[in-house]
Structure 1
Amino acid sequence: MGQLYGLDGRRLQEQYIRYLSDFMDWDQRSHAGHWVLFEQNIGEYLSLDEVCLSRGELYTVLTNKDAKGKKGALLAMVKGTISDQVIAILERIPYRLRKEVKEVTLDLAPTMERIARRAFPKARLVSDRFHVQQLAADAVQQIRIQYRWEAIDQENSEMELAKQLNHPHVPDILENGDSLKQLLARSRHLLFKDETNWTASQQHRSELLFARYPLLEKAYRLSRKLSHIFSNTKEKGIGFTRLAKWYDEVEKSAIKAFSTVARTIQNHYHTILNYFDNRHTNASAESFNAKIKALRTQFRGVRNVEFFMYRLAKIYA
């Protein structure tokens, strides 16, 4: 627009902020750099998450699921993740409105759980199933990475020995054309996917991988089984039974990385089991965070936090 009217772009933006928009008269401008609150957007089903806004600064974001990421979705946005500070802002919402909230979805962070319990005492808390599944997937990748470092170390030792003997180093090549190091590196993506979605080359690579690393196959099977429990279970009681059996399998496997996952599930099992009531996840919060980041990209960063909050409010509040 600046080029169209022969104006400097920054000058036009300044004119928009000061005169063309109602930003200067916005009732939340004085504190927008630290928090904004729109109590009229409260609903029965909420999502709680954090987002990185600018220069590594985290903001806690509370959204209304029923708005589906459109106008009316943004309920509150508070700088930082310190629970007491966020709770103090959310308690500005009248208690008669907060007690009507039926459910809050959130990740596994203890600070988020404390915020939700204090601000919405009548609400059922639901831990996001995808965060639980991500822990299991990370455990599988941890084992793969450990084996990859061992393969790299072995290859380096072989190269040094060949150099000492004045022989050319010829790495062992598997039947699909990968070296052992490449096999472990190129198996990253297939370990995130269900085997029904593997391509022919991924199927072949998995056969070579699991034949050499049976512990990695066991970890992969445990990870996929956990995912199938969340995908295929409709009732809370059945979900509890299946998760208990999965926990027993983890203990028998003696895989250290999965023991950590199992303990996390044990510590959060009340809120994890609540997922089976309505099968709600925190995907709406992740989607809203993506929209915030997209708007940030359009602004080419966030220099004026107050004005950025104003634009968010205009679009989503």
Structure 2
Amino acid sequence: MLWATENFIDLKRVQRAYRCSRGLLYKVVYEQLERKRRTRLYDLPSVIGIDEHSLRKRKYQSVDYVTVIVDHKNKRIYEVIDGRNKADLEDAAVAFKRPENVKVVTLDLSNTFKSFAKDTFPNARLVADRFHVQRCFGKLVNRFRKRITGDDRKNPIRRLLLRDGRKLEPYERKVIRLFLKDKEHLREVYSLKERVHRRYRTRGKKRARKALIKILDLMGQSKIPEVVGLRKTILAWRNEIVEYFNGRYSNGRVEGFNRKAKLVQRRAFGFRSFKNYRLQLLNACRGRV
């Protein structure tokens, strides 16, 4: 039955194929998934990633979230936790095996995850995901662009402004220069975004730290409130941002598993039970272990 659930589109088709009751099917399948999960238990790896994704949205209520702990080395999900606040994470962390093994934790710019990782993994270096840092500046560019062109996603200038300037054709760079010529605030924000992109091409932790300090100094001189506000965030995460250059770890794999989680949800037409969802997701993202 477990083979059928992994290869059929949904459990209703398995039920029809095996001519069994819904209750029996669910009982057998999830008992087998739990047995398989127990056979794959192992100590925490040296490099992990943390992120959250939504599980369901209840009518007239808030969205339910789950947190995933990803094993970068074995390319699999290590654990799925119900909730995303620190209390939920700490309750689940009690069952973690040998948290002192963890040397690197990749995460987005979440203060909750940062605090949890510092308390739970004492030997770990925290690494802020580069794409989340770049996206902060991209969002700022987009916000100022909307004030000029309106919220038109099909506007070609939107795509040009958000792309890495180094990857643009010469004529595209010229279009951007002409567009920004009389737009002081947008030009300043775009220049900061490009500096951040260049900084991530820097080699070496010391050079990267110097480049980040220059960016923070420029942001500190800005008269734009949004830039000053973003500077506070970057300043609070400066050490984690610089740690990226010591190994160049990112949360890319974690984001990939989040996408796979959405496929698991769609295939089941949603989940009412977190316990069942956890078992299905751990089985679908079991990696090489």
Tell me if TM exceeds 0.5.
yes
For residues 168-205 of structure 1, give each alpha carbon's deviation from its aligned partner in whole angstroms, at most 9, with x where no partner exists. Answer: xxxxxxxxxxxxx9899442111111234336774564
Q: Which amino acid aligns with 2:24?
A: R
Structural mapping, 1:252-267, within 5 Å: 252-267=221-236
After the TM superposition, which of the residue ranges 50-59 and 247-256 deviates more from structure 2?
247-256
Q: CA 1:133/1:12 → structure 2, altered by over 3 Å: closer, same or farther?
A: same
Name the counterpart of 2:125.
124
2: CA distance between counterparts of 1:277 and 1:251? 26
Choose the corresponding residue for 2:197, options 227, 240, 243.
227
Task: Please state if 1:54 is matched with 2:24.
Answer: no
Q: Which amino acid aligns with 1:18?
A: L
Q: CA 1:11/1:186 → structure 2, altered by over 3 Å: closer, same or farther?
A: same
Q: CA 1:17/1:23 → structure 2, altered by over 3 Å: closer, same or farther?
A: farther
2: CA distance between counterparts of 1:314 and 1:8? 19
- Number of equivalences: 270
1: CA distance between counterparts of 2:234 and 2:258? 25
1: CA distance between counterparts of 2:81 and 2:153? 45
Name the counterpart of 1:105.
106
Runs of 4+ in structure 1 off by over 6 angstroms are 181-184
Q: Which amino acid aligns with 1:46?
A: I
2: CA distance between counterparts of 1:208 and 1:201? 11
Task: Please state if 1:66 is matched with 2:80.
Answer: no
TM-score of the pair, normalised by structure 2: 0.81
Larger Rg computed on CA atoms: 1
Choose the corresponding residue for 1:83, options 82, 86, 98.
86
Q: CA 1:67/1:15 → structure 2, altered by over 3 Å: closer, same or farther?
A: farther
CA contact (8 A) 1:128 1:282 kept: yes
CA contact (8 A) 1:62 1:75 kept: yes
Q: CA 1:229/1:204 → structure 2, altered by over 3 Å: closer, same or farther?
A: closer
Structural mapping, 1:4-43, within 5 Å: 9=13, 11-12=15-16, 15=21, 18-19=24-25, 21-24=28-31, 27=34, 39-40=41-42, 42-43=44-45
Structural mapping, 1:176-195, within 5 Å: 185-195=155-165
| Secondary structure at the counterpart of residue 280 of structure 1 | coil
Name the counterpart of 1:177.
none
CA contact (8 A) 1:91 1:119 kept: no
Q: CA 1:204/1:245 → structure 2, altered by over 3 Å: closer, same or farther?
A: closer
CA contact (8 A) 1:39 1:93 kept: no
2: CA distance between counterparts of 1:77 and 1:8? 25
Name the counterpart of 2:140.
139
For residues 104-147 of structure 1, give each alpha carbon's deviation from its aligned partner in whole angstroms, at most 9, with x where no partner exists. Answer: 11111111111111221111111111111111111111111223
Q: Which amino acid aligns with 1:12?
A: R
| Secondary structure at the counterpart of residue 295 of structure 1 | helix
1: CA distance between counterparts of 2:191 and 2:212? 14
Structure 2 residue runs of 5 or longer lacking an equivalent are 58-62
Task: Please state if 1:300 is matched with 2:286.
Answer: no
CA contact (8 A) 2:44 2:101 kept: no
1: CA distance between counterparts of 2:154 and 2:12? 53
Structure 1 residue runs of 5 or longer lacking an equivalent are 150-180
Deviation at 1:214, TM superposition (A): 3.4
CA contact (8 A) 1:147 1:184 kept: no
| Secondary structure at the counterpart of residue 216 of structure 2 | helix
Deviation at 1:234, TM superposition (A): 2.2
Amino-acid identity (%): 23
Name the counterpart of 2:60.
none
CA contact (8 A) 2:33 2:280 kept: no
2: CA distance between counterparts of 1:256 and 1:128? 24
Name the counterpart of 1:44.
46
Deviation at 1:235, TM superposition (A): 1.4
Deviation at 1:305, TM superposition (A): 3.8
Name the counterpart of 1:274.
243
Alignment RMSD, CA only? 3.3
Deviation at 1:86, TM superposition (A): 1.1
| Secondary structure at the counterpart of residue 300 of structure 1 | coil
TM-score of the pair, normalised by structure 1: 0.74
Name the counterpart of 1:159.
none
Deviation at 1:266, TM superposition (A): 0.8
Q: Which amino acid aligns with 1:63?
A: V
Q: CA 1:304/1:18 → structure 2, altered by over 3 Å: closer, same or farther?
A: farther
Name the counterpart of 1:176.
none
